[in-house]
Amino acid sequence: MADEQNERALEDGIVTDLKDRMTYGGYLDLDRLLGAQHPVSVPEHHDEMLFIIQHQTTELWLKLVLRELDTARTRLAEDDLRSALKHIARIKHIQEVLTQQWSVLATLTPTEYAEFRSDLGNSSGFQSVQYRAVEFALGNKNERMLGVFRDHPANLALLTTEFERPTLYDEFLRYVARQGLPVPESILDRDVRLPYRETEELVPVIREVYENPKEHWELYEACEELVDVEDNFQFWRFRHLRTVTRTIGMKRGTGGSTGVDFLQRALSLTFFPELYTVRTEIGKDERIGL
């Protein structure tokens, strides 16, 4: 009797004859997706599957981040800020998942990783075209990165498109200008293929938004959403740094970088510099304690 009560009966309406029907596995192409993990260690090391799945799921989330960044920029160009913020909010949630994922990889000990690391050759997260595309879309452009993908036409095309396209911040600042605020022409006319550099003349514009939130509420909210995106990105970078430190110490990366030192330098990069500089300016002449 106890066993019968611990069994959930199938409801009569549940479809169990799946012949010639769209199925869960078919819709998601699970045969191909779940068959895409190919460990290279011989004999196969148990923890290599963790390493592969960690990076594959990251790439899936990055694919969605790129899609949301694409749409957010399009909506800003169409003066639809509210819709753009919806897509930015989704990006923030994805970033949180990506950051939390590092805790799974952090269970890989140095001893375990060392047993299959040499089998990875020169493959490295440095070579992730989607990660580079996200960085380009947010403003950290580097023309030299295009050369990394010169032998892969599809990846080169993806990154070249992002290289030549206005960044999320470019589109936002153009929107701000269309709302009547005096965004410097040097920003509006800048070569979007170059990495974004801080413009001192923009800081008073951002300060106007922050010091008069009732008059500029939507812009005020948007600025904070962008700060959230950057903070989340930095949290992700830092968690990556700490996971690498924990797993390989100060060894060089498989892709040839200096490893931890290379990742550490990335923490000094910023996508939306004026949104941080303005914090120093606001209330600078007042006594404020924290």
Q: Which residues are annotated as a binding site for substrate?
A: 51-55, 113, 117, 254
Binding residues for heme: 240
Report whether the peptide linkage leading into residue 43 is cis, meaning its omega lies within 30 degrees of zero. Answer: yes
Binding residues: 51-55, 113, 117, 240, 254
Q: Is the dihedral angle over the CA atoms 246, 248, 254, 256 positive or is it negative? A: positive
Q: Is the dihedral angle over the CA atoms 209, 213, 219, 224 positive or is it negative? A: positive
In eight-state DSSP terms, residue 288 is: -
- Which of 185, 199, 192 minimizes the C-alpha distance to 171? 192
> DSSP per residue over 239-282, as a string?
HHHHHHHHHHTTPPPTTSS-THHHHHHHTT--S-HHHHHHHHHT
Amino acid sitting at position 260? V
